[in-house]
Chain A
C-alpha cells in the first residue's frame, strides 16, 4: 500500500502553519450507579428522578466511592497502556453554579488514578502514537435548561454525580483527521473494555479541545485556546479548522493570541470567547476531607489486567496473522468489538478472506443504508457464513449471491432455504452446461463463424446467452472453459 504524506497545514500569506491539538475527553463511566451515590445512571429518565440526597447536596450528606467506577477507570487505564497509580486523591474543585449542588465538583487534581499512557492511530501516512497525559475520575454536573421558561432556569440533576473519566492527551494531534482517528480509537478501546458506551448523542463522550498553531518547523508551542464541551467528532473538526484559521489570521496580522476559553457555535460554525485567562475561575482545589485517599492494591490491578479482553491493536495483529487479512481489512474489522465478533463467527464457519470482502462490501453497505449497528443486523453471522460458503463452494455465483443477500435481508431466512426454494443453485454440471452451450451455438451459427474468423469480442455475447438461458445460474468459470473448448472444435 503506498503511503500518503501528512499534509495538513494552514496556509497563510507568510507561510504554512502547523496545528497543534490536545484533547480532554470526558467519557461517562459505564456503571449502574453514580460515582459517590447509589442513584441510577440510566439515560432518559424524567428530570430529577435519579437524584439522591447526596447528588443534591443536602446538609450532612457524604460521598462514598463506587468501587465499580474505580475498576472501570483502572481497566480503561490499562487499555491505554497507562501507568495505574496505587495512590490517588479526590479533590474538590470549587465553583458556584445552579446545576452544581455541592458548590464543588469532586475530581482528581494532583494525584490522578491513571498516569501516562499511549494510543496508536492508523493514519494513511502510517501509524502514529498519541501520548496520554493522565486519566482521572470526577463527578458530572447536572443540567441547566434555559429554554423552557423565559425568566427561569430549570435544573435537572439526573446527571449530577455520574462518574466521568477525563482522559487528557498530550498535544500530539496535528489535524482534524487525527482527532477523528483518536476519538474513534479511544471510543473503540473503551467499548471493547465495556467502560464507556461512547454514545456521543447521549453525551457519554464529550471533549474540550485545545488548539494552537505554529509556523511549520517551529519547535515551541503557540498560545493555545481551549474550546469547551464539544460533543461530536464533526463539530470538533469544524471547531479546530475555524479556530486554527482564526489564530493564523491573528498572527499574520501581527496580533497576539489571548489564552482563553472559547465556545463553539454549531449554528454559525465559529468559536467565540467565553472567558479570558484573567477571568479564569480560581477553583481552589484541595483534597476532599470527606474521602480518604484511594489506595489500590497491586493485586486488584493485576487481576483486572488479567481479565481484560483482547483489545483492537492486538486483535488486528491476530487477524492479519490468523485470517490472512491485509492491514486495511483487519483495521476495519476490529474497529468495533461487535464487528470483530461478527467477523470471527463468520470466519469460523466459512472462507476467511471471502468473508472479510463480503462483510466490508455488501453487509456494511446494507447496514449503513439502514442506519443499523451490526448488533441489529437482519442477517445473523451464521447465515452470513452460509452465504459466503455457498459462494466459495461454487454453489451460487457472486451475482446470484447478491440476490440471495437481498432476500436474506428482507426475510431473515437462511441462504440454503432461499437458494433451494427459488432454484438459484448454480449450474455446475459440465454435461448440462455443454448441452446448453451447444444449443446456443447451433442457434447462432453466423456468430460462431464470425468468432472463428477472428471477432473474439463475441465471446462475451455467448456467455451472456448462456446466462440468459440458465437464468443466471450457469457456473461462470465452467461456462468459460466449456465455451472455449466448443468454439475451438
Chain B
C-alpha cells in the first residue's frame, strides 16, 4: 500500500471509513513520520501514548458517521488542551498544563478526532517566521534553509511534511494564510466570531481567529465545519446556524464577480508574485467569473493601524503572565515588583517585549488619542472600504504574501521588513472578514506561492467554492522531497 499519510484528509477519512486503514495504523504512521522529522522542530509536545489509546478505542468501537472518524490531529500550541502542556511558544508558559480544553479543539474531538501533539509557533503568535518561539525555530519542509512562515509555522510545516493530516492555527494578522502560502498548503481565516476564542491563548482579542490549515480546499471545508460554531462562553462569538461547508462545496463559479484591488500592487513586489496573480485572474475568468477592478483606498494604512491595535491589546492580554498563579516565576526578586520584572524579563522573548512596549506606549495617556484612537478610526475606514466594494462583488482576489518563504535569519534583525510580510493579510483581520490562502504556483526557486480570496462576512462557503474551482484548474502540486528523514 502507498504511503497512507501522503494524502488529503478527505481521502484519509475515506480510507478509514472503508476500513482500508484503521485509526491505529494511521496514528502509528504519523508517529513514525513525526519521529523521523525532528529536524523540522514542528512539535513542542507529542501525545503519542494518548493518541494511540484514542485510536484503539476508536477501532474497538468505530463511529464512521462522524466528520473526523478516528483522525489524529496535531494543533498549534496556542490552543489550551486539557492535561496537555500548552506553551504558546513561550518560556513563561513552559510548565503550564491547562485543566480545560479550548472550544475549538473540543469541537474537533467531538467529531471523532484526537490529539497527536502540540505544534510550535511564534511566541504568543507574534511573528511571521516562527523564529520567535522559545522552543526554537521551525524549518519549512520546502527547503532546509527556509522559514515555514508564522506564527502558525509548526502547523504549516507539520502539515506539508505529512506529520498531521490537517491542522488548525490562529490568524491575527496573517498567521494562518502566510505560512500556508509559504508551504503550498491551504489556510483559512474565518469571519471574526465564527470560531470560538475560548481557551485560545489570546494575542489581540479583536483580531484573533482560529482556522483550518489543510492540503486541499475540501479538507479545509471539512475542518471548518468541525471546528466552527456558536459558543456562549465567547461574547464575540456569532450566534448562527451551523453550515455544512463540505457537503455544500461546489465548483461552479460562473457569473461570480471577483474584485481586483489596485492597492495590492505594491512596490518591489517580485515579478513572479504579479505573474501568479495574473494567472489566478485568468483561471477564474476562464471558469466564467467576472473580474472587476476595485479600490480599497485605505489599504496603505492597514499595516501601521494593525501594529498599533494588535500590540495595544496584546500589552493588556499578556499582563496576566505575572508569575503569581501559574507559569514561569523567576526565583529572584525581593518583592512583588521585582518578582514581576524578573519573571516577565526572563519569561518573554524580544519580539513579545517589543510589542508589549509598543502597546503600552500607544495606550499611554497623552498618546492614546494620537495612536490608539486614530488607529481605531482608520480601522473603521478600512472596514468601510471592504463594505463598499462588496456591494458590487462576491469576492476579492489578491496575492497572499509579497514573496515566497524567506531564509531563516534573513529578517530577524529587521522587524519592520518582517512586519511587511503581512501587508496583504492584515487588512482582512482589521475588517473581520474571511479569507483563504490557496497554493497557486511556485517562484523560480520552486518555492510555493499562494493567492488569497477574501469574502464578505460569513461568506466562507463562497470563497471555499471559488477555491475549489480554482484548485481543480490550477494544476498546482506540492512536490516536497522528504529530505529530513
Q: Which residues of A contact B (CB under 8 A)?
A: 53, 56-65, 92, 94, 96-98, 101-104, 153, 155, 282, 284-286, 289-292
Contacts and interface: CB of A to CB of B under 8 A. Distances in A.
Top 3 closest pairs, chain A to chain B, by CB:
A103-B319, A289-B206, A284-B363
Contacts of B201: 59-60
A63 B235 CA distance: 7
A294 to B, nearest CB: 10
Interface in B58-99: 80, 86, 88, 93, 96, 98-99
Contacts of A153: 336
A102 B198 contact: no
B235 to A, nearest CB: 5
B316 A65 contact: no
Nearest to A94: B316
Contacts of A60: 80, 98, 102, 197-202
Contact of A102 (B312, B319, B364): B319
Contacts of B319: 94, 96, 102-104
B368 interface: yes
Nearest to A97: B336
A286 B232 contact: no
Nearest to B93: A59
Q: Is the contact region of chain B dominated by helix, strand, or loop, or is it mixed?
A: loop
Given A102-B320, A289-B206, A59 B80 contact: yes
Interface in B157-207: 197-202, 204-206
Interface stretch (B18-26, B112-120, B243-251, B322-330): B322-330
Interface residues of B, number: 43
A98 B336 contact: yes
A286 B372 CA distance: 9
Most chain-A CB neighbours within 10 Å: which of B199, B316, B368? Answer: B316
Contact of B324 (A94, A98, A292): A98
Given A60-B200, A96-B322, A96-B337, 19 more contacts: A57-B320, A58-B325, A60-B197, A60-B199, A60-B202, A62-B234, A92-B316, A96-B340, A98-B336, A101-B324, A103-B322, A155-B324, A286-B313, A286-B363, A286-B372, A290-B202, A290-B205, A291-B235, A292-B235
Contacts of A56: 325
Which of A104, A286, A290 has the most chain B CB within a 10 Å cutoff? A286
Nearest to B205: A289
A138 to B, nearest CB: 16
Interface string B358-379: 0010011100100010000000
A85 to B, nearest CB: 19
Contacts of A289: 204-206, 236, 313
B233 interface: yes
9 contacts: A60-B102, A64-B232, A102-B319, A284-B315, A284-B365, A286-B368, A289-B205, A289-B236, A290-B235
A65 B206 CA distance: 17
Contacts of B198: 60-62
A144 to B, nearest CB: 9
B363 A58 contact: no
B336 A286 contact: no
A41 to B, nearest CB: 20
A58 B98 contact: yes
B77 to A, nearest CB: 11
Given A98-B324, A284-B360, A289-B206, A58 B232 contact: no
Given A57-B325, A96-B319, A292-B235, A62 B197 contact: yes
Of listed B88, B100, B322, residue having the most chain A CB within 10 A: B322
